[in-house]
């Protein structure tokens, strides 16, 4: 079955929207999806950005909040504007990589996104992540595995792999080397996986 | 009839795609469209950008070119990557304002966009604009009216009106004060004009 790589960042509002819809789109299109968390921080820092572009450019930020609100309504996705953006997705991303091995990455990632963008919780706080792990019925040893040196290196390597594919924002979708940027390109990416140029 | 304001910049690739499709979308949706050229240059300069973000951020630029190519193919829109971006849309915008009064703004604007994004001509060159005016069967006095002080002020005022609505990129669409950014939000803007939140 063809596969779309779904590149996401836990701090990203549009990554949340994509995470809520991606499995449904994949199912309808008959395409596999591979969840690939990465960090936007190093990518933004390399461009000289000290924060999210939505904070650096207020007009852009204002419209993003309104657009996400409109989009969530259109797709019936739960949404509450968080009191802080961007939140630190480092630990959550490390845990998600463990979940990629164990088969619970999608469930865990959606729970983290909802904590951030529905429940307004600080996903950068280890207590929040530990609570999500517990609520999913996972052992607390997951946190130790997440913080192991080789798992930390793995997240760095995954972010480097994203950069090598040309990723500069989140969410992004890749089909082999074909890159699609944005929640609004998700369906097109899945269509590309079966029928390019359509 | 409800109206969507279509804010565009002649240097903008996605504005070109929108200009090719906007009348068809408006017709199907039963909504009027008002063509409103403006200048991105002052908006970008105010953010500290010295060129198009597609030039300042190469990964973003690379993906834009590919995305526009894919999108043009999907919608069967003629497309040839121009040898230079951004081209100077100042004179074309001034002429377009004259066309807003005389009823040929849509035809003129599409001709300018095609000169830039299909024929790879320098739309910042007065000879190119004069040729387009001539090919449309318009009198050369149009250029004089375009360069009259009150018309120059009018373009400044139109750009200020865009900024006041929160516009920060092109194309944008507004329905009263509701702002939609991007060619990929065009249908949503027209839908909003008749049925908000759908």
Tell me which residues of chain A have a C-beta less than 8 Å from any C-beta of chain B. 47, 57, 59-60, 62-63, 66-67, 70, 73-74, 163, 166-169, 178-182, 184-185, 188, 197-198
Residue B140 designated active-site: no
Domain boundaries, chain B: 3-194
Residues of A in contact with B185 (CB under 8 A): 67, 184
Q: Which residues of B touch A67 (CB under 8 A)?
A: 180-181, 185
Give contacts of B66 with chain A, Cβ < 8 Å: 178-179
- Residue A186 reports pLDDT greater than 90: yes
State how far Cα A79 lies from the chain centre.
Answer: 16
> Can you read off the two tokens belonging to residue B9?
């910049």
The pLDDT value recorded for residue B198 is: 78
pLDDT in tens, A100-141: 999 999 999 999 999 999 999 999 999 999 999 999 999 999
Give the residue numbers in B contacting A (CB under 8 Å), as ranges: 47, 57, 59-60, 62-63, 66-67, 70, 73-74, 163, 166-169, 178-182, 184-185, 188, 197-198
* Residue of A53, A168, A193, A197 to mutate, testing the B interface (most B Cβ within 10 Å of its Cβ): A168
**Residue B50, class by beta-carbon neighbours within 10 Å (0-12 exposed, 13-18 middle, 19+ buried)?**
exposed
Strand partners, B124: none
Cα B29 from Cα B23, distance rounded (Å): 10
In this structure, how many other beta carbons lie within 10 angstroms of the beta carbon of residue A7? 28
C-alpha–C-alpha distance, residues A182 and A169, integer Å? 8
Here the contacts of A95-99 (C-beta below 8 Å, separation 24 or greater) are A95/A129, A95/A133, A95/A142, A95/A143, A95/A146, A96/A35, A96/A37, A97/A37, A97/A146, A97/A151, A97/A154, A97/A155, A97/A158, A98/A142, A98/A145, A98/A146, A98/A151, A99/A142
B57 contact partners, CB below 8 Å, separation of at least 6: A47, A168
Per residue in B121-155, pLDDT tens? 999 999 999 999 999 999 999 999 999 999 999 99
pLDDT tens digits, B33-88: 999 999 999 999 988 898 999 999 999 999 999 999 999 999 999 999 999 999 99
Q: How far is A61 from chain B (nearest CA, A)?
A: 10
Q: What class, spelled out in words, does domain A3-194 have in CATH? A: alpha beta
Least confident of A39-53, A155-169, A181-195, B15-29: A39-53
By residue count, chain B amounts to 198
Give contacts of A195 with chain B, Cβ < 8 Å: none
């Amino acid at each position: 079955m063809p596969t779309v790589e779904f590149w996401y960042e836990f701090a990203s509002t549009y990554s949340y929207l994509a995470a809520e819809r991606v499995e449904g789109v994949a199912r309808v299109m008959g395409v596999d999806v591979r969840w690939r968390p990465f960090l936007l921080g190093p990518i933004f820092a390399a461009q000289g950005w000290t924060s999210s572009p939505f904070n650096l450019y207020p007009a852009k930020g204002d419209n993003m909040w309104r657009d996400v609100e409109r989009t969530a309504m259109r797709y019936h996705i739960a949404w509450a504007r968080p009191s802080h953006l961007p939140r630190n997705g480092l630990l959550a991303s490390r845990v998600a990589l463990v979940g990629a091995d164990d088969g619970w990455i999608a469930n865990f990632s959606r729970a983290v996104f909802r904590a951030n963008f529905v429940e307004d919780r600080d996903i950068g706080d280890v207590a929040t992540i530990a609570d999500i792990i517990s609520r999913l019925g996972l052992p607390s040893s997951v946190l130790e595995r997440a913080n192991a040196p080789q798992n930390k290196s793995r997240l760095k390597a995954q972010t480097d792999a994203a950069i090598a594919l040309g990723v500069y924002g989140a969410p992004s979708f890749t089909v082999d080397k074909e890159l699609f940027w944005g929640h609004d390109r998700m369906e097109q990416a899945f269509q590309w996986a079966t029928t390019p140029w359509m």
